[in-house]
Amino acid sequence: MWSFPRQRFVDCSGSEASGDVEIVVNIGGLRQVLSVDILSRYPDTRLAELASLAAGNAEDLSELCDDYGGGEFYFDRDPDAFKCIMEVYYYGEIHMKRGICPACFMDEMEFWGVEEDFLDECCRANLQEVKEELAEIAEKVQSLLVAREKVRTVGLSAWKGLQVRTWRLMEQPDSSVAARIIAVISFILILVSSVALCAGTIPELQTRDAQDNPTEPPALVAIDTACIIWFTVEYLLRLFAAPRKIRFLFSFMNIIDCLAILPYFILLTLNQLGSSLLELSNVQQAVQAVRILRVARVLKLARHSSGLQMLTFALRSSCGELALLLMYMGVGIFLFSALGYTLEQSHPETLFTSIPQAFWWAIITMTTVGYGDVYPKTTLGRCNAAVSFLCGVIAIALPIHPIINNFVVVYSKQQVLETAARHEIRLMELRSREFGADTHARKRTYSHTHTIYTALSDTQIPLLEEPSIPTPSHTSPKEVF
């Protein structure tokens, strides 16, 4: 059996002293003999307070332990966690063993009155991660409960109630069947508008206007107009129902939504101003730039796709690795383009006219693309190209694994959070059902007893222990008759 050795002191004559005070604790069936002197090193802990009161022959110790008697103090706690916590009295720090739940270990430390500052750095980092996960699980549970809960507008004005219902309808697809239908329609219209945008660039489908310029066919224009009307109404409703308008306007996804619908109205305004204005070269370039902005509507899929959102989170957590990749590539491009320009100057038909022009060759070589429009013609230039190719492969491969690992971590964490949140909700539902069944059973028992006693007596005296359930008086039937 695991136990700490008893502490003994030796006097000057060499004989052992037996005056050392000890207490006996029983932790989940594990009996331990602890020295009061060792426990008093940290007087703010539960064991130190218990030893102090026990040494003073205090009568009531029930607040510090589950039970006591026969010279032992009993605790219904985890013995494995207690072994780790006892290290603070001997070594001044705590190491959490493998296999112990960090959340349960936090509860054990709080019970024994040991602060987290005594944890080693590695264990403290694990506990911090667990705290963050628990906070995220609680937030996820709250969001799921809010999504499942029906809209409560009691006490709100008609305007505020309309805003709440509209926000739930547009932002929480799991709140109702209508909200789910709206989310599905938005997702389908995003795909349809993206397909129409691509189909409008096919020359065989394009038509000619009065100036013999290629334009999109009327059918695709009608489809695009219908989609834009839906996106505009959706955006305005969400803006109307947003509780914080400024935060809503500057949110990244809402900026994408705005960029998806603005090009249509800009082009419509330019068309209304007249064809003479559109004939200007600067205006035509601006129109082409506005048309390119229409591709932003495909980014609206991220609002309805959890996979794209997780990919965004993974890339955001991999900013360091991406910056390292760009630094490697930038140094390599500058180095090999300069070498390539220098080594190719001896060839009369060189394709490397300047170092900035050689940047393009270095980029497509290090990224293993190799279009073949620019290539070295000297032997040393080809050797430089081979080295740049190998360095590019190595530079790209080094940060890839951390980026993939971050995506796996984000994906696994998201799955764990959703599973844990649903599990917590199921537990809450089971507890509410058990509570409701218990309350219903108590009401049925009282109703049956109440019917019998009201036939015998008109007097009822409620118990003080349960004032919510009235209990008939103890008058016997004989006294009534």
What local confidence, expressed as pLDDT, does residue 479 receive?
37
Q: How far apart are CA 320 and CA 315, in angstroms?
A: 10
Q: Please write the tens of the pLDDT for every residue from 112-127.
A: 888 878 887 777 777 7
Q: How far apart are CA 22 and CA 50, in angstroms?
A: 11
Q: How far apart are CA 126 and CA 95, in angstroms?
A: 11
Q: 172 and 279 in one domain?
A: yes
Q: How far apart are CA 41 and CA 25, in angstroms?
A: 18
Q: 267 and 196 in one domain?
A: yes
Question: Is 243 within 8 Å of 167 (Cβ atoms)?
Answer: yes
Q: 300 and 164 in one domain?
A: yes
Q: 163 and 282 in one domain?
A: yes
Displacement of CA 99 from its chain's centroid (Å): 25
CATH no. for residue 74?
3.30.710.10
| 7 within a domain of the structure (yes/no) | no
| 148 within a domain of the structure (yes/no) | no
Q: 103 and 172 in one domain?
A: no
Q: Please write the tens of the pLDDT for every residue from 197-244.
A: 888 888 888 887 766 777 778 888 889 889 889 989 998 998 888 888
CATH no. for residue 170?
1.20.120.350
Q: How far apart are CA 283 and CA 274, in angstroms?
A: 12
Q: 246 and 182 in one domain?
A: yes
Q: In this structure, what DSSP letter does residue 472 have?
A: B
| 53 within a domain of the structure (yes/no) | yes
CATH no. for residue 384?
1.10.287.70
| 126 within a domain of the structure (yes/no) | yes
Structural domain count, the chain: 3
What local confidence, expressed as pLDDT, does residue 171 receive?
80
Q: How far apart are CA 18 and CA 39, in angstroms?
A: 18
Q: How far apart are CA 190 and CA 224, in angstroms?
A: 10
| 196 within a domain of the structure (yes/no) | yes
Q: 258 and 388 in one domain?
A: no
| 227 within a domain of the structure (yes/no) | yes
Domain termination residue (choose one: 81, 107, 142): 142
Single pTM value for the model? 0.56
* Phi, psi torsion values for 99, nearest 5 degrees: 95, -10
| 434 within a domain of the structure (yes/no) | no
| 13 within a domain of the structure (yes/no) | no
Helix (H, G, I), strand (E, B) or coil at 34: strand
Q: Which residues of the chain have pLDDT under 70?
A: 1-20, 55-60, 140, 142-156, 210-211, 273-291, 304, 435-481
Structural element, H or E, at residue 11: none
Residue 203's domain comprises 159-304
Closest CA to 81 of 59, 107, 55: 107
* Phi, psi torsion values for 257, nearest 5 degrees: -60, -40
Phi-psi region of 8 (alpha: psi -120 to 50; beta: other; left: phi over 0): beta
Q: What sign for the dihedral angle of Cα 90, 96, 101, 102?
A: positive
Q: How far apart are CA 139 and CA 133, in angstroms?
A: 10
What local confidence, expressed as pLDDT, does residue 333 receive?
92
Which residues sit opposite 25 in a β-bridge? 32, 73
Q: 103 and 56 in one domain?
A: yes
Q: 254 and 138 in one domain?
A: no
Q: 199 and 109 in one domain?
A: no
Q: 409 and 322 in one domain?
A: yes
Strands 16-17 and 30-35: unpaired
Question: Which token pair is 71?
Answer: 């010279």
Q: What sign for the dihedral angle of Cα 278, 283, 286, 288?
A: positive
3 CB contacts (<8 Å, ≥6 apart)?
31, 32, 33
Question: Which token pair is 452?
Answer: 């019998």
DSSP for 96-162, please give it: PPTTS-HHHHHHHHHHHT--GGGB-HHHHHHHHHHHHHHHHHHHHHHHHHHHHSPP--TTS-HHHHH
What local confidence, expressed as pLDDT, does residue 410 receive?
80
Q: 172 and 101 in one domain?
A: no
